[in-house]
A and B are shown apart, each in its own frame.
Chain A
């Protein structure tokens, strides 16, 4: 017999514990505009709210829909920016160099092989101290052929001198793009910022988010402050990027001065990132750990270290382990560059062992890049903390709560047995 079945939605489970990114109760505002969108559209809305003067893009999976959303917003008049569809990523960033030197607030997005093709101007951007904001929709490297998520792209360029922020959620992608302009254009920083969001799970994962009010973002960001230090401006003629250094002419000291100033700008960014996140929480009601998030470290004997969108499933696994009585917590790195040494040491000092989950490979060390960063930070820890490398989520592989339960079990073993030199490959058996 055929019948129409009436069912009631079984959607009445209690709230998950520790969802830290809900609205701040102290902030009361009118009902926000709700969007149901993926991370790429959220990023494009972040761009709209930041009112860049010029956007240059070249599409590449999984960034492509972000480029398309921005182009659509320009075409629809939602974003009043000049859009340059350049012939490749090298031109994309070179165009933005000119725009920034002429005083424009600028934006672009790329990833993977596009970032590789962009590398030459990418290398010059922070040395020119240009406050360009660029999304990296993190993609794994080829070969073998791969168009999927992974953080090999951003990790590979982490020594080039850009500020690098890594988002966990779609809402954080939107909010962080706006915040990135404040950080980049702070006169004590004056550096380009990469806002990283994982390809696939964040770029194409759809959730409910809130859209900040344009007027409030305008008030938060203020007018662009881009080229006070180096300009292509007929009224202020100056030599931009002259030949500097070597053993003759001005001598090595001038070049050293540029390098040292760049390092100082990076260190200043640590304070500015904290301040900007604090102001964001106060104005918009959403609070994010600016440098390093500590999740359930109270009473934890050991912890996972994560970066990017994997933290959601990892926190669920930590909650489940805590319910079983396992004393585990989680450390999430939001700011990788500049490396937040003090915040990281403070977090690491609370546990006796850590397992670092990387979505990229450090070929030189047979581990993951964030594992290497963590080992470096542990040098500043008063006690010795064994540190295991776990690698997963390569080429779009899923990192589920079950994978993190495995990671937690492997990390727990460090309390009773020596730390393996070999990394744990979390998706090695996934077919």
Chain B
């Protein structure tokens, strides 16, 4: 089993990103449970979504408290939310940021830091800082858990249409291409 927690702000598509990732993982033969964190649906408010994937069916429809990986699709969120809460030793951070991975402040137990200038890419592609599909590309690059091809096909199964679909496919590909992955030397989570 592999557990991921996605952090973002209302309006950036965090919950939708978990749904797209779920579709891609199922297409590659995995079972998934993706559950959004429940709060008021307000633009800009911190939101989170949980996803667990496994080779076998899972029964528990619950939140995730000890993820192997945290994906943060907003660069300012770590200042207001403890995005590392419960992250397992040897875990992975995939962070939207213009900083270099070595300049990201993480707990000493983090083994992998992946960084993507998702807001820069989103502004380039959409003209707006909507970073969810960019960061799915970054997640695929950082973890290898899902292929870029499966994510690309999953985009077609969403409500994205026409020009929006083209933009999101490009955002995904750029997120994947422009992610920098850094190993801290910590042992990776089992």
Which residues of chain A have a CB within 8 Å of any CB of chain B? 1-16, 19, 22, 34, 36, 38, 147-149, 169, 198, 200-202, 204-208, 309, 311-313, 315-316, 396, 398-401
B59 within 8 A of A: yes
Nearest-neighbour CB distance to chain B for A61, whole angstroms, equals 8
In the bound complex, do residue B56 and residue A16 qualify as a contact, i.e. CB atoms below 8 Å apart?
yes
| A396 touching B38, Cβ below 8 Å | yes
Is the CB–CB distance between A2 and B56 below 8 Å? no
Indicate whether B22 reaches chain A with its CB closer than 8 angstroms: yes
Asked if residues A4 and B141 are in contact (CB atoms below 8 Å), the reply is yes
Asked if B91 is at the interface (CB within 8 A of a chain A CB), the reply is no
Chain B's nearest CB lies how many Å from the CB of A390? 17
Asked whether A4 lies within 8 Å of B181 as measured between CB atoms, the reply is yes
Main secondary structure of the interface of A (DSSP, over half): loop
Return A306 CB to nearest CB of chain B, in Å.
Answer: 12
Q: Nearest B residue to A72 by beta-carbon distance?
A: B159
Q: Classify chain B's interface size.
A: 35 or more
A9-B144, A38-B19, A400-B63 known; 15 other A-B pairs, CB under 8 Å? Answer: A6-B144, A9-B30, A9-B145, A10-B1, A11-B54, A19-B59, A22-B57, A36-B26, A36-B32, A204-B35, A206-B35, A207-B33, A311-B59, A313-B60, A398-B63
Q: With CB as the reference atom, state the residue of chain B lying closest to A4.
A: B181
Q: Are B56's CB and A14's CB within 8 A?
A: yes
Contact: A201 with B32, CB < 8 Å? no
Q: Which 9 A-B pairs have the closest CB atoms?
A: A312-B59, A206-B34, A313-B60, A201-B61, A11-B55, A15-B56, A36-B23, A7-B144, A208-B26
What is the CA–CA distance of A5 and B2 in the complex, to the nearest angstrom? Answer: 17
* A309 engages B61 (CB within 8 Å): yes
Please state if A11 and B63 are interface contacts (CB–CB under 8 Å).
Answer: no
26 residue pairs of the A-B complex, CB under 8 angstroms, read: A3-B182, A5-B144, A8-B144, A9-B145, A11-B2, A11-B53, A11-B54, A11-B55, A14-B56, A36-B19, A36-B22, A36-B32, A36-B157, A204-B38, A205-B61, A206-B32, A206-B33, A206-B34, A207-B32, A207-B33, A208-B31, A208-B32, A312-B59, A315-B59, A398-B62, A401-B60
Indicate whether A19 sits within 8 Å of B57 (C-beta atoms), given known contacts A3-B181, A200-B38: yes
**Chain B neighbourhood of A200, CB < 8 A:** 35, 38
Most buried by B among A7, A36, A38, A148: A36
Across-interface contacts of B55 in A (CB, < 8 A) = 11-13
Min distance, Cβ B58 to any Cβ of chain A, angstroms: 7
B62 interface neighbour in A2, A10, A400, Cβ under 8 Å = A400
In the complex the two chains form, what is the Cα distance from A275 to B81 in whole Å? 51
Distance in Å: Cβ of A164 to nearest Cβ of chain B: 20
Which residue of chain A lies nearest to B111 when distances are taken between CB atoms in the complex? Answer: A5
CB–CB B181/A202 < 8 A: no
Query: Using Cβ atoms and an 8 Å threshold, which residues of chain A touch B60?
Result: 312-313, 316, 400-401
Q: For the complex, is B142 an interface residue (Cβ under 8 Å from A)? A: yes
CA separation between A126 and B99, bound complex, in Å?
Answer: 63
Determine whether the beta carbon of A401 is less than 8 Å from that of B62: yes
- Given A7-B144, A206-B32, CB of A313 within 8 Å of CB of B59: yes
Separation in Å of the B15 CB from the closest CB of chain A? 8
**Does A16 lie within 8 Å of B58, measured CB to CB?**
yes
Cβ of A309: which chain B residues have Cβ within 8 Å of it?
Answer: 61
